[in-house]
Amino acid sequence: MQTPGVAIRSTNRSVEDGKCIVVTGAAGFIGSCLVRLLNDVGAENLILVDDFSRSDKDPNLEGKKFRTKIHRDDFFSWLQEQSSGIEACYHLGARTDTTEFDYSVHQRLNVDYSRRIWEWCTRDGIPLVYASSAATYGDGALGYSDAHDLPEKLQPLNPYGVSKNEFDKWALVQENTPPRWYGLKFFNVYGPNEYHKGRMASVIFHAFNQIRDRGYVNLFRSHRPDFADGQQLRDFIHVSDVTAVCHWLMGSPSASGLYNLGTGRARSFEDLAKATFSGLDLAPDIRFIDMPEDIRDKYQYFTEADMSKLRTAGYANPFRTLEDGVEDYVRHYLATGRYC
Protein backbone atom coordinates (compact mmCIF):
# COMPACT_ATOMS: atom_id res chain seq x y z
CA MET A 1 0.00 0.00 0.00
CA GLN A 2 1.31 3.44 -0.90
CA THR A 3 2.00 6.02 1.75
CA PRO A 4 -1.12 8.17 2.30
CA GLY A 5 -0.86 11.61 0.78
CA VAL A 6 1.69 10.70 -1.90
CA ALA A 7 0.37 10.96 -5.45
CA ILE A 8 1.48 8.29 -7.86
CA ARG A 9 2.35 10.01 -11.13
CA SER A 10 2.86 6.79 -13.05
CA THR A 11 3.14 3.07 -12.50
CA ASN A 12 3.62 -0.05 -14.59
CA ARG A 13 2.01 -2.33 -12.07
CA SER A 14 -0.69 -4.50 -13.64
CA VAL A 15 -4.05 -5.08 -12.03
CA GLU A 16 -4.54 -8.46 -13.68
CA ASP A 17 -3.59 -10.39 -10.54
CA GLY A 18 -6.83 -9.40 -8.84
CA LYS A 19 -10.07 -7.61 -9.61
CA CYS A 20 -9.86 -3.94 -8.70
CA ILE A 21 -12.32 -1.15 -7.96
CA VAL A 22 -11.62 2.43 -9.07
CA VAL A 23 -12.70 5.32 -6.85
CA THR A 24 -12.18 8.82 -8.22
CA GLY A 25 -12.26 11.76 -5.84
CA ALA A 26 -10.95 9.24 -3.33
CA ALA A 27 -9.22 11.78 -1.07
CA GLY A 28 -12.35 13.90 -0.76
CA PHE A 29 -15.29 13.83 1.60
CA ILE A 30 -17.64 11.25 0.09
CA GLY A 31 -14.89 9.38 -1.77
CA SER A 32 -12.86 8.66 1.36
CA CYS A 33 -15.97 7.55 3.25
CA LEU A 34 -16.73 5.17 0.38
CA VAL A 35 -13.19 3.78 0.64
CA ARG A 36 -13.84 3.13 4.33
CA LEU A 37 -17.08 1.27 3.51
CA LEU A 38 -15.38 -0.80 0.82
CA ASN A 39 -12.63 -1.73 3.27
CA ASP A 40 -15.26 -2.66 5.85
CA VAL A 41 -16.88 -5.12 3.42
CA GLY A 42 -13.51 -6.64 2.55
CA ALA A 43 -12.53 -4.72 -0.59
CA GLU A 44 -8.90 -3.63 -0.40
CA ASN A 45 -7.87 -3.94 -4.05
CA LEU A 46 -8.72 -0.31 -4.70
CA ILE A 47 -7.34 2.14 -7.26
CA LEU A 48 -7.64 5.62 -5.77
CA VAL A 49 -7.73 8.55 -8.19
CA ASP A 50 -7.47 12.22 -7.19
CA ASP A 51 -4.96 15.05 -7.47
CA PHE A 52 -3.60 14.35 -3.92
CA SER A 53 -2.07 17.83 -3.75
CA ARG A 54 -3.72 19.06 -0.56
CA SER A 55 -2.12 17.94 2.67
CA ASP A 56 -5.29 18.82 4.61
CA LYS A 57 -7.01 15.91 2.83
CA ASP A 58 -4.31 13.37 3.73
CA PRO A 59 -6.01 12.28 6.99
CA ASN A 60 -9.07 11.21 5.00
CA LEU A 61 -7.11 8.19 3.75
CA GLU A 62 -5.03 7.38 6.82
CA GLY A 63 -5.49 3.79 7.95
CA LYS A 64 -7.37 2.80 4.81
CA LYS A 65 -6.27 -0.10 2.61
CA PHE A 66 -5.83 0.19 -1.14
CA ARG A 67 -3.58 -0.96 -3.95
CA THR A 68 -2.33 2.32 -5.34
CA LYS A 69 -3.00 6.02 -5.79
CA ILE A 70 -2.92 7.69 -9.20
CA HIS A 71 -3.02 11.36 -10.04
CA ARG A 72 -6.20 12.13 -11.96
CA ASP A 73 -4.21 13.66 -14.83
CA ASP A 74 -2.33 10.38 -15.28
CA PHE A 75 -5.23 7.99 -14.86
CA PHE A 76 -6.11 7.44 -18.52
CA SER A 77 -2.51 6.92 -19.59
CA TRP A 78 -2.13 4.48 -16.67
CA LEU A 79 -5.17 2.57 -17.94
CA GLN A 80 -3.53 2.09 -21.32
CA GLU A 81 -0.72 0.15 -19.65
CA GLN A 82 -3.00 -2.22 -17.74
CA SER A 83 -4.49 -5.56 -18.62
CA SER A 84 -8.13 -6.17 -17.83
CA GLY A 85 -8.83 -6.47 -14.14
CA ILE A 86 -11.00 -3.57 -13.08
CA GLU A 87 -14.52 -4.65 -12.15
CA ALA A 88 -16.21 -1.41 -11.05
CA CYS A 89 -15.80 2.37 -11.07
CA TYR A 90 -17.16 4.89 -8.61
CA HIS A 91 -16.65 8.30 -10.20
CA LEU A 92 -17.00 10.81 -7.35
CA GLY A 93 -14.27 13.25 -8.39
CA ALA A 94 -15.52 16.71 -9.35
CA ARG A 95 -15.10 20.41 -8.81
CA THR A 96 -17.90 20.93 -6.28
CA ASP A 97 -17.49 24.60 -5.40
CA THR A 98 -20.83 26.29 -6.10
CA THR A 99 -19.15 29.70 -5.80
CA GLU A 100 -16.69 28.98 -8.63
CA PHE A 101 -18.17 30.93 -11.54
CA ASP A 102 -15.50 30.14 -14.15
CA TYR A 103 -17.45 27.55 -16.11
CA SER A 104 -14.35 26.33 -17.95
CA VAL A 105 -13.17 24.76 -14.68
CA HIS A 106 -16.42 22.82 -14.32
CA GLN A 107 -16.46 21.91 -18.01
CA ARG A 108 -13.00 20.36 -17.79
CA LEU A 109 -13.41 18.46 -14.53
CA ASN A 110 -17.14 17.73 -14.34
CA VAL A 111 -18.08 17.24 -17.98
CA ASP A 112 -15.07 16.40 -20.15
CA TYR A 113 -13.35 14.21 -17.55
CA SER A 114 -16.61 12.41 -16.78
CA ARG A 115 -17.12 11.68 -20.47
CA ARG A 116 -13.72 10.04 -20.61
CA ILE A 117 -14.61 7.92 -17.57
CA TRP A 118 -17.87 6.92 -19.27
CA GLU A 119 -16.15 6.03 -22.54
CA TRP A 120 -13.57 3.90 -20.76
CA CYS A 121 -16.25 2.06 -18.75
CA THR A 122 -18.25 1.52 -21.95
CA ARG A 123 -15.26 0.18 -23.89
CA ASP A 124 -14.13 -2.18 -21.13
CA GLY A 125 -17.58 -3.23 -19.90
CA ILE A 126 -17.22 -1.75 -16.40
CA PRO A 127 -20.27 -0.83 -14.28
CA LEU A 128 -20.26 2.86 -13.33
CA VAL A 129 -21.69 4.82 -10.39
CA TYR A 130 -21.13 8.56 -10.74
CA ALA A 131 -21.96 11.63 -8.68
CA SER A 132 -24.52 14.01 -10.02
CA SER A 133 -26.13 16.64 -7.77
CA ALA A 134 -29.39 18.15 -6.57
CA ALA A 135 -27.87 21.44 -7.73
CA THR A 136 -29.16 20.41 -11.16
CA TYR A 137 -32.70 21.21 -10.00
CA GLY A 138 -32.10 24.94 -9.75
CA ASP A 139 -34.76 26.76 -7.75
CA GLY A 140 -36.96 23.67 -7.69
CA ALA A 141 -39.70 25.21 -9.81
CA LEU A 142 -39.95 21.97 -11.82
CA GLY A 143 -39.87 19.75 -8.76
CA TYR A 144 -37.36 17.12 -7.70
CA SER A 145 -38.21 14.11 -9.82
CA ASP A 146 -35.37 11.97 -11.18
CA ALA A 147 -37.41 11.18 -14.29
CA HIS A 148 -35.28 11.15 -17.43
CA ASP A 149 -37.33 13.74 -19.30
CA LEU A 150 -36.59 16.46 -16.74
CA PRO A 151 -32.87 17.31 -17.21
CA GLU A 152 -33.50 18.98 -20.59
CA LYS A 153 -35.90 21.38 -18.87
CA LEU A 154 -33.84 22.19 -15.77
CA GLN A 155 -32.16 25.55 -15.17
CA PRO A 156 -29.45 25.20 -12.50
CA LEU A 157 -28.52 28.31 -10.52
CA ASN A 158 -24.71 28.09 -10.75
CA PRO A 159 -22.00 26.75 -13.06
CA TYR A 160 -21.47 23.68 -10.88
CA GLY A 161 -25.12 22.69 -11.24
CA VAL A 162 -25.02 23.44 -14.96
CA SER A 163 -22.02 21.15 -15.45
CA LYS A 164 -23.64 18.28 -13.57
CA ASN A 165 -26.84 18.66 -15.56
CA GLU A 166 -24.94 18.84 -18.84
CA PHE A 167 -23.28 15.53 -18.12
CA ASP A 168 -26.59 13.95 -17.06
CA LYS A 169 -28.17 15.09 -20.33
CA TRP A 170 -25.23 13.74 -22.32
CA ALA A 171 -25.35 10.37 -20.54
CA LEU A 172 -29.06 9.95 -21.16
CA VAL A 173 -28.73 10.16 -24.94
CA GLN A 174 -25.74 7.84 -25.37
CA GLU A 175 -26.31 4.73 -27.42
CA ASN A 176 -23.09 3.17 -26.15
CA THR A 177 -23.11 2.83 -22.38
CA PRO A 178 -21.43 0.94 -19.55
CA PRO A 179 -23.16 -2.40 -18.84
CA ARG A 180 -24.86 -0.73 -15.86
CA TRP A 181 -24.65 2.92 -14.91
CA TYR A 182 -26.13 5.05 -12.14
CA GLY A 183 -25.97 8.84 -11.85
CA LEU A 184 -26.75 9.76 -8.25
CA LYS A 185 -28.21 13.20 -7.55
CA PHE A 186 -26.73 13.86 -4.12
CA PHE A 187 -28.74 16.24 -1.97
CA ASN A 188 -27.18 17.93 1.12
CA VAL A 189 -24.60 15.44 2.32
CA TYR A 190 -22.98 15.82 5.75
CA GLY A 191 -20.74 13.74 7.98
CA PRO A 192 -17.11 12.96 8.81
CA ASN A 193 -14.13 13.70 6.55
CA GLU A 194 -15.31 17.12 5.37
CA TYR A 195 -12.80 19.03 7.53
CA HIS A 196 -10.94 20.26 4.44
CA LYS A 197 -13.95 21.72 2.61
CA GLY A 198 -13.83 25.23 4.05
CA ARG A 199 -16.74 27.39 2.94
CA MET A 200 -18.32 24.43 1.12
CA ALA A 201 -18.52 22.22 4.22
CA SER A 202 -21.95 21.38 5.62
CA VAL A 203 -23.91 23.79 7.78
CA ILE A 204 -23.47 21.32 10.65
CA PHE A 205 -19.69 21.61 10.39
CA HIS A 206 -19.87 25.42 10.47
CA ALA A 207 -22.49 25.42 13.24
CA PHE A 208 -20.30 23.21 15.42
CA ASN A 209 -17.31 25.51 14.97
CA GLN A 210 -19.38 28.60 15.73
CA ILE A 211 -20.78 27.05 18.91
CA ARG A 212 -17.31 25.99 20.01
CA ASP A 213 -15.76 29.39 19.30
CA ARG A 214 -18.62 31.81 20.12
CA GLY A 215 -21.38 29.90 21.86
CA TYR A 216 -24.01 30.66 19.22
CA VAL A 217 -24.89 29.88 15.60
CA ASN A 218 -25.41 32.29 12.73
CA LEU A 219 -27.94 31.23 10.11
CA PHE A 220 -28.76 33.07 6.92
CA ARG A 221 -31.71 35.41 7.12
CA SER A 222 -34.39 34.64 4.54
CA HIS A 223 -34.57 37.06 1.63
CA ARG A 224 -37.90 35.69 0.43
CA PRO A 225 -41.23 36.62 2.03
CA ASP A 226 -42.56 33.05 1.80
CA PHE A 227 -39.81 31.67 4.06
CA ALA A 228 -39.25 32.76 7.65
CA ASP A 229 -35.70 33.17 8.91
CA GLY A 230 -34.19 29.75 9.52
CA GLN A 231 -37.02 27.95 7.77
CA GLN A 232 -35.21 27.42 4.48
CA LEU A 233 -35.62 23.70 3.82
CA ARG A 234 -33.12 21.17 2.55
CA ASP A 235 -32.93 17.41 2.27
CA PHE A 236 -29.99 16.58 4.53
CA ILE A 237 -28.49 13.09 4.20
CA HIS A 238 -25.72 11.47 6.22
CA VAL A 239 -22.69 10.36 4.21
CA SER A 240 -23.03 6.81 5.51
CA ASP A 241 -26.39 6.54 3.75
CA VAL A 242 -24.86 7.92 0.55
CA THR A 243 -22.03 5.39 0.50
CA ALA A 244 -24.42 2.55 1.39
CA VAL A 245 -26.56 3.35 -1.66
CA CYS A 246 -23.47 3.64 -3.90
CA HIS A 247 -22.32 0.20 -2.79
CA TRP A 248 -25.80 -1.35 -3.07
CA LEU A 249 -26.39 -0.07 -6.59
CA MET A 250 -23.08 -1.40 -7.83
CA GLY A 251 -24.15 -4.90 -6.82
CA SER A 252 -27.80 -4.63 -7.83
CA PRO A 253 -29.61 -5.47 -11.08
CA SER A 254 -31.43 -2.12 -10.99
CA ALA A 255 -32.20 -0.33 -14.24
CA SER A 256 -29.50 2.10 -15.32
CA GLY A 257 -30.20 5.81 -15.10
CA LEU A 258 -30.46 8.80 -12.80
CA TYR A 259 -31.42 8.33 -9.16
CA ASN A 260 -32.08 10.89 -6.45
CA LEU A 261 -30.16 10.38 -3.24
CA GLY A 262 -31.59 12.21 -0.27
CA THR A 263 -33.80 11.10 2.62
CA GLY A 264 -37.02 12.23 0.95
CA ARG A 265 -37.81 14.57 3.84
CA ALA A 266 -36.89 18.26 3.85
CA ARG A 267 -35.86 19.79 7.19
CA SER A 268 -35.19 23.37 8.19
CA PHE A 269 -31.83 24.93 8.97
CA GLU A 270 -33.27 25.80 12.36
CA ASP A 271 -33.90 22.09 12.99
CA LEU A 272 -30.34 21.36 11.95
CA ALA A 273 -28.88 24.02 14.26
CA LYS A 274 -30.95 22.77 17.19
CA ALA A 275 -29.75 19.21 16.55
CA THR A 276 -26.15 20.45 16.59
CA PHE A 277 -26.66 22.13 19.97
CA SER A 278 -28.31 18.95 21.24
CA GLY A 279 -25.28 16.93 20.21
CA LEU A 280 -23.23 19.20 22.48
CA ASP A 281 -25.82 19.11 25.31
CA LEU A 282 -26.34 22.86 25.02
CA ALA A 283 -29.43 25.06 24.79
CA PRO A 284 -29.87 26.62 21.32
CA ASP A 285 -28.68 30.17 20.67
CA ILE A 286 -29.48 30.95 17.03
CA ARG A 287 -28.91 34.34 15.40
CA PHE A 288 -29.56 35.51 11.87
CA ILE A 289 -27.29 37.31 9.39
CA ASP A 290 -27.73 38.50 5.82
CA MET A 291 -26.90 36.03 3.09
CA PRO A 292 -23.80 36.97 1.04
CA GLU A 293 -24.83 38.89 -2.05
CA ASP A 294 -22.79 36.65 -4.37
CA ILE A 295 -25.07 33.68 -3.66
CA ARG A 296 -28.33 35.44 -2.77
CA ASP A 297 -29.97 35.09 -6.17
CA LYS A 298 -28.63 31.56 -6.65
CA TYR A 299 -29.76 30.08 -3.35
CA GLN A 300 -32.06 27.05 -3.09
CA TYR A 301 -34.76 27.65 -0.46
CA PHE A 302 -36.29 24.18 -0.70
CA THR A 303 -35.00 20.79 -1.77
CA GLU A 304 -36.59 17.42 -1.16
CA ALA A 305 -35.66 14.28 -3.03
CA ASP A 306 -38.34 12.17 -4.65
CA MET A 307 -37.00 8.79 -3.56
CA SER A 308 -39.64 6.61 -5.21
CA LYS A 309 -37.37 5.37 -8.01
CA LEU A 310 -34.67 4.07 -5.66
CA ARG A 311 -37.27 2.49 -3.38
CA THR A 312 -38.99 0.83 -6.34
CA ALA A 313 -35.58 -0.47 -7.45
CA GLY A 314 -35.42 -2.35 -4.16
CA TYR A 315 -33.39 -0.25 -1.75
CA ALA A 316 -35.24 -0.81 1.52
CA ASN A 317 -32.83 0.41 4.21
CA PRO A 318 -34.09 3.36 6.27
CA PHE A 319 -32.19 6.64 6.11
CA ARG A 320 -30.89 8.21 9.29
CA THR A 321 -33.04 10.93 10.79
CA LEU A 322 -31.53 14.39 10.96
CA GLU A 323 -31.38 14.22 14.76
CA ASP A 324 -29.66 10.82 14.79
CA GLY A 325 -27.20 11.67 12.02
CA VAL A 326 -26.23 15.05 13.43
CA GLU A 327 -25.80 13.72 16.96
CA ASP A 328 -23.52 10.95 15.71
CA TYR A 329 -21.49 13.40 13.62
CA VAL A 330 -21.14 15.95 16.42
CA ARG A 331 -20.43 13.59 19.30
CA HIS A 332 -18.24 11.01 17.62
CA TYR A 333 -16.39 13.04 14.99
CA LEU A 334 -16.49 16.83 15.28
CA ALA A 335 -16.09 16.90 19.06
CA THR A 336 -13.14 14.51 18.92
CA GLY A 337 -11.56 15.41 15.56
CA ARG A 338 -11.98 11.83 14.35
CA TYR A 339 -12.14 10.69 10.75
CA CYS A 340 -14.13 7.73 9.50
**For the chain, domain boundaries:** 20-190+237-263+305-319, 195-233+266-303+326-334
| pLDDT class of 38 with cuts at 50, 70, 90 | very high
Q: Is the pLDDT of residue 329 over 80?
A: yes
Mean pLDDT of 298-325: 96
Of the residues 90, 160, 259, 329, which is catalytic?
Answer: 160
Distances (CA, A) of 152 to 101, 103, 143, 229, 309: 21, 19, 13, 33, 19
Which residues lie below 8 Å from residue 289, measured CB to CB, with a gap of 6+?
A: 218, 219, 220, 221
Q: Is the pLDDT of residue 7 over 60?
A: no
pLDDT in tens, 235-245: 999 999 999 99
Of the residues 197, 298, 301, 339, which is catalytic?
Answer: 197
Closest Cα partner for 188 from 209, 202, 207?
202
Q: Which CATH class is domain 20-190+237-263+305-319?
A: alpha beta
Could you tell me which residues are beta bridge partners of residue 3? none
Mean pLDDT of 268-292: 97
Mean pLDDT of the chain: 92
Q: What is the pLDDT of residue 18?
A: 58
What is 195-233+266-303+326-334's CATH topology?
Answer: UDP-galactose 4-epimerase; domain 1 (3.90.25)
Which of 32-41, 82-91, 251-260 is the least confident region? 82-91
> Does the annotation count 160 as an active-site position?
yes
Could you tell me which residues are beta bridge partners of residue 46? 21
Q: Are 146 and 165 in contact (CB under 8 A)?
A: no
Q: What is the pLDDT of residue 83?
A: 61
pTM score of the predicted model: 0.92
> How many Å is the maximal CA-CA distance in the chain?
62
> Does the annotation count 153 as an active-site position?
no
Which of 6-10, 36-40, 100-104, 264-268 is the least confident region? 6-10
Q: What is the pLDDT of residue 295?
A: 82
